Amino acid sequence: MAEKNKNIHAGHRQRMRKNFQSGGFKGWHDHNVLEYILFRVIPRADTNEIAHHLIDGCGGFAEVFRASKEKLTDIMGVGDETAEYLRMLGEFVRYYNDVRYDVNRFTLDSETSEGYMLNLFDGMERENFYIFCLDAQNRIIYKRRMFEGSFDSMDIDISQILRLAAKCDASNVVLAHNHPSGIAKASNADIVATQAIERALSYAGVGLLDHIIVAGGKCASAKRNYIVPDIRKYKK
């Protein structure tokens, strides 16, 4: 019986490898992708079942790669080596995106802004506020996390934003912060702050292209809520 089960798993894995070689993960379900990934670290067990346990236990496919080692090893079928492997893959994806969005060469435009922001705020559980100083071609000169607040509120020092924009000789600025609540919508406070910052920047001859809110895997524009289109409609 053990030999029969081994042959079944071997045939199944070989079929999945052929499918991956012919088309990658296109059209696969999340649990099948995770099942295939686990082949590398779990050579004999039923990784389909473990993949289901991981996705259910962590709250989703992406969350598997953000989970702590302790949480992963609490899940049936997951040992220390598997947990470390999954955490390594999650860190690899974040590192890859950091290199892909290299601040020294990255242009923030309509095609790239959303992916950039989602990667930047990935996994942040507290509210964070960033400023991006751009040159005349919308290439990022400098980025900085200006503030880290609570889940509910965050103080913004406009004079500090002005000093940084001036120091970088920025032509334009993009602001961004996350909503840990998961609601990708600008609050009244977000809109008021955006208006105040835009007025201050305009006096210094610096444009505010957008103020982007990141939450729940989505991006929204605080600026679009009150006056002009967001960065996705801006053309360099």
Give tens-digit pLDDT for 84-138. Answer: 999 999 999 888 877 766 655 678 776 778 888 998 898 888 899 999 999 888 8
User: Is residue 142 pLDDT above 50, yes or no?
Assistant: yes
Q: 201: burial class by Cβ within 10 Å (0-12, 13-18, 19+)?
A: buried
Q: What is the arithmetic mean of pLDDT over 17-36? A: 92
Per-residue confidence band for 224, with pLDDT thresholds at 50, 70 and 90: confident
pTM: 0.57
The pLDDT value given to residue 148: 84
User: Is residue 200 pLDDT above 50, yes or no?
Assistant: yes
The pLDDT value given to residue 122: 87
DSSP string across 128-195 = EEEEEEE-TT-BEEEEEEEEE--SS-----HHHHHHHHHHTT-SEEEEEEE-TTS--S--HHHHHHHH
Residue 164: which of 175, 177, 179, 178 has the closest Cα?
Answer: 175
Give the chain's mean pLDDT.
84
The residue ranges of every structural domain in the chain are: 2-99, 103-233
Q: Look up residue 180 and give its two tokens.
A: 């840990």
The pLDDT value given to residue 7: 52
Give tens-digit pLDDT for 37-96. Answer: 999 999 888 899 999 999 999 999 989 998 999 999 999 999 999 999 999 999 998 888
CATH architecture of 103-233: 3-Layer(aba) Sandwich (3.40)
